Amino acid sequence: MSARNDRNEFIKALWKLMLPIVVQNLISAVVNTADVLMLSSVSESALSASSLAGQVTFTLTLFYSGISAGASILTAQYWGRRDTGTIGKIQGIALRDSCLISLIFFAATLCAPRVLMKIFANDNSLIDLGGVYLQWVSPSYLMMGVSQMLLAVMKSIGQTKRSAQITASCLLCNILLNAAVIYLLFPGNETGALSGVAAATSAARALEVLLCFAAIRRGEGVRSTLQSCIAAEAWLAKDFWKCALPVQANYLVWGGATAAIAGILGHIGTQVVAANSLASALRNLVIVGCSGLGTAGSIMIGNTLGNNDLDGARLMGSRIFSGSLLLGAVSGLLLLTLYRPCLAVTRLDGDAAWLFGRMLAVNAVYCIGKSFNSSMVGGVFCAGGDTRFGLICDTAAMWGVILPLGLLSAFVWKWPPIAVYIVLCMDEFIKLPFVMARFRRYKWLKNLTRSRS
């Protein structure tokens, strides 16, 4: 009876943290899916150009993800001790480094957008359209560098509801502005639609930053001093980057491989890019519960480890292990139900529609591996500071196996596009048995906090 009560209390606490995160991720995925659907109503070229240009923003978010992961890991554990002074210093380190990265991406996309687009496409029309998008979206990078760090810390101290509300407000603003641009201001105009959608993103990000500062003033976040942003204490900066660097490298390795995959698909053809854009957007929509499970689990395990309860953290990890597999299977089944409704509201036809259907089936299976690996590697393992394993795993799977096979199958063996796509989606199942073995060794059970502050 006590074990059942303990499990029920765990599920209740997990759900309390997880639900706002799932809602936040769901709204984000809905907005991304809506953008894809709206741009597909303009033209396949507009959809493909925005998808390829989005790889630059995606690359930037990889840097944010690494930095915010370092902040989240330490913040969750120090929150277990209620050490807000140290948390403020951790947030300051994250803000300093993320803003520096943002400035670099802002300058590159503003001054050389076509050069960046040539990495992902060889079609001049896609390069031109994508370049327009990048120039207009570049101001959003400056604001994302601030908001993403503040939101990461908010979630790690249990303010998942407020974080979700802020993100939801930003994304709903974005989708309304996008609809106005595409259907009212520039109907059927590829260049106008893309520049307007990008400008709407910048406006929505500005709102997000303002809402974050307002939440901090109300005591729903943590304040950071200018000193903590400019010159952090050496011991804390060392702890921060000990956690963050392997995660950062992992995200860059994985993200670089993902960008390379986008480049492979981009050089196969516009129809392949369009079909993949829609299939990927729908996959991201249905796996929001999986990512929410990993994030919420990481926060709970981090708090528990910071309180030095290793047995409790081990039990939580085992429950997330089982839940992630079940949730991945359910997500895959849900994805299959979206095929016909999406065809009804898009302009995909012929080969693009055929490819989309096959890609959706591949992604339905992919959801199982993605749910498990993201929950374990990005959630459970990171909670205890075990961040190097993910780097090793992704480097071996993506760069050692998937990309070489993908390049060979696409450009040497000349396989059909759907066969190439299957090869490019095998990474999660290559990693899965190694992730299972790592979990059972329990090297992720570590208390990272220090007594001094």
Kindly report, residue by residue over 160-209, the tens digit of the pLDDT.
888 888 988 988 888 889 889 888 888 878 788 888 888 888 898 999 99
Separation between Cα atoms, residue 95 and residue 224, nearest integer Å: 9
Per-residue pLDDT of the chain (453 residues; tens, 9 = 90+): 456 667 778 888 888 888 887 877 777 666 666 666 677 777 777 777 777 787 788 788 888 888 988 888 889 888 888 888 888 889 899 999 999 999 999 999 999 888 888 887 777 888 888 888 888 888 989 998 899 899 989 988 888 888 888 988 988 888 889 889 888 888 878 788 888 888 888 898 999 999 999 999 998 888 887 777 777 788 888 888 888 888 888 888 887 888 788 888 878 877 888 888 888 888 988 888 888 898 888 989 998 998 888 898 999 999 999 999 999 999 999 999 998 888 777 767 778 889 999 999 999 999 999 999 999 998 899 888 888 898 999 999 999 999 999 999 999 999 999 999 999 999 999 999 999 999 999 989 888 887 654
Q: How far apart are CA 86 and CA 63, in angstroms?
A: 23
CA distance linking residue 178 with residue 198, whole number of Å: 9
Rounded CA gap, 434 and 283, in Å? Answer: 24
Tokens found for residue 174? 């974005």
For 13, 359, 360, 362, 406, the CA distances from 422, given in Å and listed in that order, are 38, 8, 11, 7, 9
Instruction: Give me the pLDDT at residue 137, please.
Output: 86
The structural domains of the chain, with segments of one domain joined by +, span: 2-441
pLDDT at 191: 81
- Distance in angstroms (rounded) separating the CA atoms of residues 352 and 400: 30
In the numeric block, the tokens 């299959």 are attached to: 336
As given in the structure block, the two tokens for residue 173 are 């603003």
> What is the pLDDT at residue 206?
92
Q: What's the rounded Cα separation, in Å, for the pair 71 and 232?
A: 13
CA distance 394 to 84: 34
Classify residue 383 by burial, with Cβ atoms within 10 Å: 0-12, 13-18, 19+.
buried
Spatial separation of the C-alpha atoms in residues 320 and 296, rounded to whole Å: 10
Q: What is the reported pLDDT for 452?
A: 56
- pLDDT for 270: 77
Phi-psi region of 298 (alpha: psi -120 to 50; beta: other; left: phi over 0): alpha
Buried b (16+ CB within 10 A) or exposed e, 159-190: bbbbbbbbbbbbbebbbebbeebbeeebeebb
